[in-house]
Structure 1
């Protein structure tokens, strides 16, 4: 046996020994892949040793080839064994990390509450939708026509002084009531009409305990043949009974430019009369403005401030509390 043959045999045996020891100590799949490439890759240590076989006599090459295959199989076996072991360890660690202890107490999160204003709007709309009304929406920035003129309030009308308005530089304004939604709806739809319009409105009021420059209204409108003030009274009575309970109500003569006759609605609350709504029969001029024939159709309208209802029902002493987002207050509702 030549020295060259003995040398290659020794190198192959050392390669097997070192490889199996290194593979057994590998602590990750990434490290295991590095060892595979180091020992069995195209440029790995086994390939380098086999490259020396070219110097051997032909009769000695089969013996070295057989030894090399044995070494290669031993290293591959070690690699597969260690890979299986490492994958099992990885799976066990993942299962332990993802295991849920169903007996542990959950993380407490306080239950949210509906804001008082949203609660009033939701209750009111639920009542009116149950009476057959459709919810309608409109823009908060309005033209003078929809906010005033179409509602029987021309530029020189003294009723404009009743509502101090926010005018914008482009000639538009921030709506002072949601009645403008009724005009837009009637322009687009033929009678019969039954709509309820909730929304935010704006007036140049001095902010105090009972006034705000931004507040919310809900208005209703019904147009059909033969509607009378009796239908208006019956509708309002049903609505107020659903909101406040079976309490005495009264109607007082009042004035609004877009209704005739007009009335204020009072509710007997905690032993005293409390004004809660305005209402009336739709003025014939308003019907003409939207193309309805007042000789054929009549209608009624009513509206109320959401904040006032919230303050009464929740016994709130200052309207500003509704906009403060103070959790100490909201958690009491």
Structure 2
């Protein structure tokens, strides 16, 4: 089953995509509410929805992000990506030993999620603009300290994720050993819909990985192609790790991290020692396609310039504390 969120005749709805039509859920159920039913109940609801609704042509609707995520964790599960991007962003090579210890992730912004066909407003001061081709898993029920086996039971479905990246901002801020922050949180794209987990089971290999072909193109020219099964960890392992000493909840989205072999421009820049292909520019169209899920296309634009910030305050903390102690002693006398 494929679940989409869309606009039709001025109203926002969620529904089931079947062939070339979309069938709205009754009672204005949104996608988050359907996901929270869990996979089995959602599949039953979807079958009933298609059976009792004529639907509308998919060509007559405007797709939105398939759901409003409860949170977005983005992992980094492809060693080939790590090696190439490290060279580009911080000038170091190789894969850090810590990467092999656990499936590392960061939290990104659930409030700047875009959908298929929407323009992506990069920060106006960024010139090293990049895309990232990922697959995201959508969580269908809550969990805490899950085992890998238990994590499989909370998988609801999958969607395509483009983790847009302002590499120049990312490079600067990660020198503070935090982030990425403003290099990432301006936009992420999800879509075109959520494909429920049962549809992708035929692609699962003997080790539990999904053997899906992933392709990235800029202005119609393919720049990257990889297999999702080149991940270092399964989605179930990443879910289990995310829930460790913490919680995952229905509607959480977990990104796979960027595929290798040109899943983003920065990986290619790091390997080639130059910005080839060039950074994204206003008007460029990026198209990500994942076998079994679908295609996601967005156009790059520039946001309005942000207001200036005041310069950092530089002071000697020890001198300031001593001066304050002296001031307070004077007041006390």
TM-score, L = length of structure 2: 0.26
Q: Which is greater in Rg?
A: 1
Which structure has more helix as a fraction of its residues? 1
Which structure has more strand as a fraction of its residues? 2
